[in-house]
Amino acid sequence: MNAIEFIKEFFRRQGLWILGANTIIKICGFAAVVFVTRNTSEQDFGSYSYALNIVLAFVPFMGLGSYQAFLRFSTDASGQLAKKDLFHYAYARGILLSMVLVALLYVLAPILCRSIPESVSIFRVLTLVVLTTLNMEFVKSYARAIHMNGISAKIDITYAVSLLVLSILLSSFKGVMGYAAAVAIAPVVAVLYHGWRMNIAGLKWVRLNTSFRLFWKYGVFTTIGALFAQMFYAVDVFMIGQIVGEKATSVALYRVAVIIPIATLVVPISISATDFVKNSANKYNPSALKSYVINYWRTFGWISLGILSILWLLAPWILGVFGHSYRAGAEVMRIFLIGILGAHLLRVPFGNLLSAVGKANWNTYINTIVLVLTVLFCKWIIPEYGIRGAAFVMTSMMWVSGVMNGLGFWFYCIGCKS
């Protein structure tokens, strides 16, 4: 398969819908952040960013990986009825577990936010993201499981527009607290129509088919792996808040500087989401999986390099959009872009391939090692080099984790051959 055929296959699986939807999410999210940063102080936005990063560290726990396990095992279901039963089994238990988690986080808010106490009230509002996001992800996963990537994409588009509109309206009256409320409410608005249309609304307590006996093992490993992956992208902000002086201001400057580089992950994530079910079906065909990787590099690898190069050149101008003071983060943004290239080429595609073939535990082991190394290097480098040092650590670790994911995939393919 050449590059043109690879792209055609991507379009046939409605990948353009998913890529477009994820791009719209980033654009609307970017616009919302610009509006908020221009209408609130750096101190307030720093408090919000600190609270959000702590909440995001717990988001992978939502439902204990039940929605990811549903998507993975949906390819093994014997028919549509079995697939819907599996969905209801996962959904009911996932929602219940997430409600417990939200209540726990609400109570622990003063402890988790003790470094920046003014973020406690914002944190409590943001805890609802755990529940509302899980509900949205379940509906999207069901659409992908029945090969309707277009519906999953439309949910994302609805979410993006809702987030932008709600952010402008609510933050205009309540500042960052209103913004936090918008982030929590938008996922609910996004799935109202399509959840009803696919007739999957409501809780149904069904039993798990014995053929899916590894369901929770996969889900738990996916949860832990995703947790460490999420913590990897949050630990730098958390430790800047712990170590650097003028905490909230430093957090705000760093957070804004890395928003755009992280947003570019929309490209590899969209491709992985589009092809997850296909790659899962090919889990015992290493030749097809290796061919997929090569064709990915031939096409979207060059696209990623081009996008990141343009952002490197425009870094000071882009950050100036958030406010003149944020231009000081241009160096941090450029350092981070080098690391994001490693995520585009290695970390995201190989990490998702390992999940698709059922090796979520391997992802967990890799993410654990990378997170420990990141914490150790941040504690060593941030006191000396500040937010610039944090960017250097993150860049290095993104490449290290990408190489480790690549090696894991290589070993998997060798094992399949034997």
What is the band of 244 on the pLDDT scale with cuts at 50, 70, 90? low
pLDDT of residue 61: 85
pLDDT of residue 417: 61
pLDDT one-digit tens code per residue, 257-299: 888 898 888 888 888 888 888 888 888 888 889 988 998 898 8
Average pLDDT rounded to a whole number, residues 12-37: 83
pLDDT of residue 247: 56
pLDDT of residue 187: 94
pLDDT of residue 20: 85
Eight-class DSSP state of 208: P
Q: Is 271 exposed, middle or buried (0-12, 13-18, 19+ CB in 10 A)?
A: buried
Domain limits at 16? Answer: 3-417
Ranking 8-12, 110-114, 334-338 by mean pLDDT, the lowest is: 8-12
Q: Which of 15, 197, 52 is nearest to 133 (CA)?
A: 52
By the 8 A CB rule, do 377 and 396 touch? yes
Give percent above pLDDT 70 in the chain: 97
pLDDT one-digit tens code per residue, 318-347: 888 877 778 888 888 999 999 999 999 999
pLDDT of residue 1: 58
Measured CA to CA, the distance from residue 323 to residue 346 in angstroms comes to 33
pLDDT at 313 over 60: yes
What is the band of 3 on the pLDDT scale with cuts at 50, 70, 90? low
How many domains is the chain built from?
A: 1
By the 8 A CB rule, do 46 and 53 touch? no
What is the band of 245 on the pLDDT scale with cuts at 50, 70, 90? low
Q: Which of 225, 230, 214, 226 is nearest to 283 (CA)?
A: 214
pLDDT at 2 over 80: no
Output b/e per residue, 193-232; b: 16+ Cβ within 10 A.
Answer: ebbeebebeeeeeeeebeebeebbebbbbbbbbbbbbbbb
